Amino acid sequence: LLFEREDEPIVIRRPCALQFDSDPIHLARASKQYIYDTAGNEYLDASNNTAHVGHCHPHVVSAGQSQMARAACSQGYVCDVQKRYLKKLLETLPEKLSVCFLLNSGSEANDLALRLARRYTGGDDIVVFENTYHGNLSSLIEISPKLYRYEEPRNRESIHVIPLPDSCHIERENVPHETDRLVQEARSLIQAQVKRGRSIAGFLSEIIVVNAGVVVPPNGYYQGLYRAVREAGGLCIADEVQTGLGRMGEHFWAFQQHGVLPDIITIGKQLGNGYPLAAVITTRDIADSIGDFVSTYGGNPVACSMGLAVLEVIQNEQMQSSCTMVGYILKEGLVNLKARYSCIGSIRGSGLCLGVEIVGYNSGNPDPFTTNEIKDRMKAEKILLISQGPDHNVLVITPPMCFTTENARRFLRSFESVLAAIQSEG
């Protein structure tokens, strides 16, 4: 957000027109999966993935409040709550990923991951997918091709962009063959850089690429790609800022869904349920390459108390299994709608991380105009959605994990009536 003095006392602008509503809600308060504006309207929040276990969940709020009243200091001390939090967080991961750095945002986490990869390998270069975003620090704008239209990277030489495969656009019977071809294509691009004398530090990607429109590469692709990156001397970094902590349903982490083990994972957004908290988790060897590491607020006791409470809520309220079930109902309903409305190109993702690709009725091409129309009409139905993807034509459904079956049914009813109205207007 930008704050600017004008005729009125203060004007608030969003300099990012890419994905957000041009007429944002004036937020008064939020609770569970609902958002309330200053006029008293209640909205069903279908895409706010920071309020992971629900806006202002009482267990998380009370954990934060009581720690704030006990001690809210920064670095230099060790608190019990930090140890309890780290133990619980690391328990969710394979043993090899045993060292955790705590920070304040997804951008900080990805910046540190790049530093670790470069220090550990001695390499410089980073491989990324096209159309992706990893944060707003200078080091990340360099490697976020989604922003290249607005900001040219200064060190283009050291950034290698590879195609992002979308399993929805591969014929089912061609998947094994096409997956091999895609891995081979990426391997050749990486090897060509090595032959030119470039040294690869790592490959950074979301595993399910939410920022490119919930793009899911085909099964087996990451296994081949990770092998190619490691052959070239690089580390594999998984950005789980959007996908981690059970959102994908069956698996707690997206990398588990694709049967790979990254060398480094980065997490943010949902960790603190709306309170700034992020993490980089890696192996002991890689962590040791960094030397000193300091962050004034990273891992402060209030953030750790809230982070711990988030993990407790996921466990105590069986949120992962409920997310799997509700996600299944939503996806099934959307797939049924796709059979009846040709403006739906594909349904991607799993659990409560779904994407609905909107295309032209006749052309089948990405249709950002209809996407916006659907978003606006859903807002009039008091349901909030955002869109993503290089053509801004993928509606992203990533609600708080407490989204219920009834919420899913309401979503589907409204979605269908919006599609029917748009279709009848031609």
- Please tell me whether residue 270 binds ligand PMP under the rule CB under 6 A: no
List Cβ<8 Å contacts ≥24 apart for 390-394: 390/130, 390/131, 390/146, 390/212, 390/213, 391/366, 392/18, 392/19, 392/368, 393/213, 393/345, 393/357, 393/358, 393/359, 393/366, 393/367, 393/368, 394/213, 394/214, 394/348, 394/355, 394/356, 394/357, 394/358
Residues in the chain: 426
- Please tell me whether residue 273 binds ligand PMP under the rule CB under 6 A: no
Smallest gap from Cβ 239 to ligand PMP, in A, equals 5
Pick between residue 398 and residue 414 the one whose CB is nearest to ligand PMP: 398
Pick between residue 278 and residue 337 the one whose CB is nearest to ligand PMP: 278
Quick one: DSSP state of residue 245?
A: T
| Residue 96: Cβ within 10 Å count | 12
Of positions 54, 64, 123, 135, contacts ligand PMP by CB under 6 A: 135
- Among 261, 257, 249, 171, smallest CA distance to 216 is for 257
114 sits in which H/E element = helix 106-121
- Please tell me whether residue 239 binds ligand PMP under the rule CB under 6 A: yes
Of positions 54, 218, 244, 268, contacts ligand PMP by CB under 6 A: 268
Of positions 47, 67, 82, 107, contacts ligand PMP by CB under 6 A: 107
- Contact status, residue 247 vs residue 398, Cβ threshold 8 Å: yes
Of positions 55, 59, 118, 134, contacts ligand PMP by CB under 6 A: 134
Smallest gap from Cβ 398 to ligand PMP, in A, equals 10
Of positions 241, 286, 311, 344, contacts ligand PMP by CB under 6 A: 241
Helix (H/G/I), strand (E/B), else coil: 159? strand
- Please tell me whether residue 205 binds ligand PMP under the rule CB under 6 A: no
The residue range among 17-25, 128-136, 346-354, 379-387 that interacts with ligand PMP, by the rule CB under 6 A, is 128-136
- Among 292, 246, 249, smallest CA distance to 271 is for 246
Pick between residue 1 and residue 10 the one whose CB is nearest to ligand PMP: 1
CA 376-379-384 angle, to 5 degrees, is 110
Smallest gap from Cβ 425 to ligand PMP, in A, equals 34
The residue range among 123-131, 133-141, 328-336, 384-392 that interacts with ligand PMP, by the rule CB under 6 A, is 133-141
Smallest gap from Cβ 124 to ligand PMP, in A, equals 21
Contact positions toward ligand PMP, by CB under 6 A? 105-107, 110, 133-136, 206, 211, 239, 241-242, 268
